[in-house]
Structure 1
Amino acid sequence: MALPIRPGMTVPLPGPLHSHQAKLAELADMGYTDIWSAESDGADAFTPLAMAAAWEPRLRLGTAIVPAYTRSPALMAQSVASMADAAPGRFAIGIGSSSNVIVERWNGIPFEEPYKKVRDVVRFLKDALEGEKIKKSYDTFEINGFRLGVRPEQQPKILVAALREGMLRLAGRESDGVIINWLSASDVPMVNKVVQDAGGGDEKEVVCRIFCCPSENAETVRAAAKFAIAAYLNVPVYAAFHEWLGRGEQLQGMWDAWKAGDRKAALAEIPDSVVDDLVVHGSPAQCRAKIQSYFDNGVTTSSLAILPLDPELNHWQAVKDLAPTAT
């Protein structure tokens, strides 16, 4: 049975969290089915979703993603169970390794054995949500006597953020789906095949964060987007991902200049074609067609992330222009 197509939006929206109630209702009115939070240097992943759980019951809530490292296992289980309890049947937890920058540089936690860490947190969450007392050694941590005191009415979906084959197979084999980002619509079939093949016949949800800027000022958008691309695709895990996808030749000039410390040259080395592959831009109609191509190629759930790459862009108008009900 095919999974439903779910158009979603990244949160939090601009402005203070306490001001978002009416906007979340508008999202649902416009046909968005999901909201997905992230966690790096802004709001934590759970607070915006907890507020939305109370404010707007039509929206499904998900994290894309919570780093596996930055909460202890027991605290992670408590946070997940609390959200599942607050929004029964409407919450999905996305777990990922994040990056060495966020985990090690910003949080002071060694970024070691990311594959095993994510796998162990997923396995521990499944064990904890069963409600039994856990006395068990996982490869990257040991739990001695923890029992989760919150018993959600419905078990939340667990999804794994993945880039290359090992983590993609983990997502297919041990979770309900995968969370992907910084890839083109044409990259999706390659990624999706690894996940679905590992799933053993059970169709897995494919959540994709899609970066969008509905603006026809292509020169301005491309110039600004190159800063974002350089910031991400020089992180080792993303560099390896794009080499695996086949963009090594296109990005080698950027990587070489970046390693040499010449940031200006690195930006100049990013081809416009790479920007056009990874960032949805153009007229609203062109953007909606490009977003649809992600769904056509295997994405089941989108999390649109609107990037302010054009100073003239109005964020909320962009939300409306990209909405499922827009024409």
Structure 2
Amino acid sequence: MKFGLQLGYWGAGPIVGAPELVAAAEDSGFDAVFTAESWGSDAYTPLSWWGSSTQRVRLGTAVAQLSARPPTSLAMAALTLDHLSGGRHIIGLGVSGPQVVEGWYGQPFGAPLARTREYVRIVRDVLARAERVTSDGDHYPLPYPASAAGATGLGKPLKAITHPLRADLPVWLGAEGPRNVAQTAEIADGWLAVFFSLGLAEQYNTWLDEGFARPGARRSRADFEVAANCQVVVTDDVAAAIDRYRPSTALYVGGMGAKEKNFHADLYRRMGYGAAVDEIGRLFQAGRKAEAVAAVPDEMVRETMIAGTFDEVKTQIAQWESAGVTMLMVTARETETIKALGRLAG
């Protein structure tokens, strides 16, 4: 089992002690370091800044939001970082949700699967640098149609000036629903599982296998990476660990999405927590956040967590590995925790 350090996105300010965390991850044998973005800090700037002090760990975005950049712009950032890091970049992409896409980026959220497929294809075309990049898709037409409002008609197909270090730079996709996970297995090199649950592992693997079986699928189970966000806590007090992460569960279920469409809430419903999800959402949307946190059942937090004594944690890690997970993405914020996880990986 590999470990990745998920630094995530910033709150009101930069992550405290991030350079030390990154150094500890590299020294402790972590495979990768990841950043994220929501509607504040971006994913690429911190990754390139913190990653500049490393030599070995892979550097991934988990995730960069599709609507934040046109696919050609994302490909430019990716090929640049891959050069600067000596071929260590992982492109991690996700569609986000309608509140962010339409409220923050001013883009339509519709047809997320088709948008993702088109986006990834254009990114790969840029990186392949085989010919000038064009696209006749509905979402990212290149060149911009001469007949469209405001167009000059002067756009022409272009090829990247800079030669990518790797034409086949890995693309991992964040996905939660059945169709999205299946498409991820079909067109991507890895799956970023936001909330992985052993209870749903058989279902996840069915969705993945559907994608692997499609004509033209890029990968098979043997060379496809499954990176699962997971809190891994070595402790004799599992109850305290659950309390520590209860607010995060409440936030994602109740506050990270609209009442009408919250993919995280839908995922927890699939796990069997429909009644709790409804109550948490009701309280969160009413501004009663403390009550929403209190309404999160222990087992709901425990569902996506590995916790216990050192030996218990090793056993649980083996169970996740048997379920198909190849990397655990942890959000540790103390160097000692990172060092302890490194001993687990060893």
| Deviation at residue 298 of structure 1 after TM alignment | 0.8
For the Cα contact (< 8 Å) 2:70–2:140, is it kept in 1?
no
Q: Give 2:117's aligned residue.
A: 119
Q: Matched residues in 2 for 1:29 and 1:262: separation?
A: 42
What do you get for the CA RMSD once the two structures are aligned?
3.0
Q: Which secondary structure does the structure 1 equivalent of 2:191 belong to?
A: strand
CA distance 1:303–1:223, change in 2 (3 Å): closer
Q: CA deviation at 1:167?
A: 0.7
Query: Any conservation in 2 of the 1:11–1:48 contact (CA below 8 Å)?
Result: no
- The whole-number CA distance in structure 2 between the counterparts of 1:146 and 1:64 is 28
Pairing partner for 2:330 from 287, 297, 304: 304
* Matching residue's letter, 1:191: Y
What are the Cα deviations for residues 22-51 of structure 1, in whole angstroms up to 9, with x where unaligned? 653432231212112212255422233324
Structure 2 SS opposite 1:222: helix
Name the SS for the 2:135 alignment partner.
strand
Which residue in the other structure is 2:161 paired with?
149
31-40 or 163-172: bigger deviation:
31-40
Shift of 1:159: 1.3
Q: Provide the secondary structure at the position in 2 that maps to 1:294.
A: helix
Q: Distance in 2 between matches of 1:94 and 1:13?
A: 14
Structure 2 segments unaligned to the other structure (5+ residues)? 144-156, 214-218
The 1:212–1:111 alpha-carbon spacing in structure 2 relative to 1, beyond 3 Å, is: farther
Structure 1 distance, partners of 2:126, 2:104, is 28
Partner of 2:27: 29
Relative to structure 1, the CA distance from residue 19 to residue 149 in structure 2 (aligned partners, 3 Å threshold; closer, same or farther) is farther
User: Aligned residue for 1:320?
Assistant: 339
Superposition deviation, residue 82 in structure 1:
1.0
CA distance in 2, matches of 1:265, 1:17: 27
| Matched-pair identity in % | 23
Alignment of 1:1-327 (within 5 A): 5-11=1-7, 23-41=21-39, 43-131=41-129, 132-144=131-143, 145-154=157-166, 155-200=168-213, 202-203=220-221, 204-234=224-254, 235=257, 236-258=262-284, 262-306=288-332, 315-324=334-343
Cα gap change, 1:101/1:288 in structure 2, threshold over 3 Å: closer, same or farther?
farther
Contact 2:79 2:165 in 1 (8 A): no
Say if 2:21 and 2:338, in contact at 8 Å, map to a contact too. Answer: no
Offset of residue 283 of structure 1 = 4.2
Distance in 1, matches of 2:252 and 2:344, equals 32
Deviation at 1:301, TM superposition (A): 1.8
Structure 2: which amino acid aligns with 1:320?
A: K
Greater mean alpha carbon deviation, residues 260-269 or residues 158-167: 260-269
- TM-superposed CA distance for 1:176, in Å, is 1.1
Offset of 1:215 from its aligned partner?
4.8
Deviation for aligned residue 1:162: 0.4
**1:288: how far off?**
4.6
Which residue identity does 2:292 align to in structure 1? A
Map of 1:311 onto structure 2:
none
Distance 1:168 1:59, change over 3 A: same
TM-score scaled by structure 1? Answer: 0.83
Q: SS of the residue aligned with 1:322?
A: helix
Whether the aligned pair in 2 keeps the contact of 1:188 and 1:299 (CA below 8 Å) is no
Q: Higher mean Cα deviation, 46-55 or 130-139? A: 46-55
How far, CA to CA, are the matches of 2:276 and 2:8 in structure 1? Answer: 33
Quickly say closer, same or farther: Cα 1:42–1:189, change in 2 above 3 A: farther
Instruction: Report the 3-state secondary structure (helix = DSSP H, G, I; strand = E; otherwise coil) of the residue aligned with 1:192.
Output: helix
Deviation at 1:248, TM superposition (A): 2.2
1:262 Cα deviation after fit: 4.6
Cα deviations by residue, 1:244-291 (Å, 9 ceiling, x for unpaired): 343324534334444566544433332111111123344455445434
Moved more, 39-48 or 58-67: 39-48
**Structure showing greater Rg:** 2
Output the CA distance in 2 between the equivalents of 1:255 and 1:44.
27
Amino acid at match of 1:172: A
Distance between the aligned counterparts of 2:282 and 2:20, measured in 1? 47
- The size of the alignment, in residue pairs, is 316
CA deviations on 1:8-34 (whole Å, 9 max, x unpaired) are 211379996897556534322312121
- Find the aligned partners of 2:331 and 2:345 in 1 and give their Cα distance: 17
Partners of 1:213 and 1:306 within 8 A in 2? no
Q: 1:312 maps to what in 2? A: none
Asked if the contact 1:192/1:206 (under 8 Å) is kept, the reply is no
| Structure 1 spans left out of the alignment, 5+ residues | 308-314
C-alpha spacing 1:260/1:59, structure 2 compared with 1 (3 Å): closer
Using the alignment, how far apart are the partners of 2:320 and 2:73 within structure 1? 35
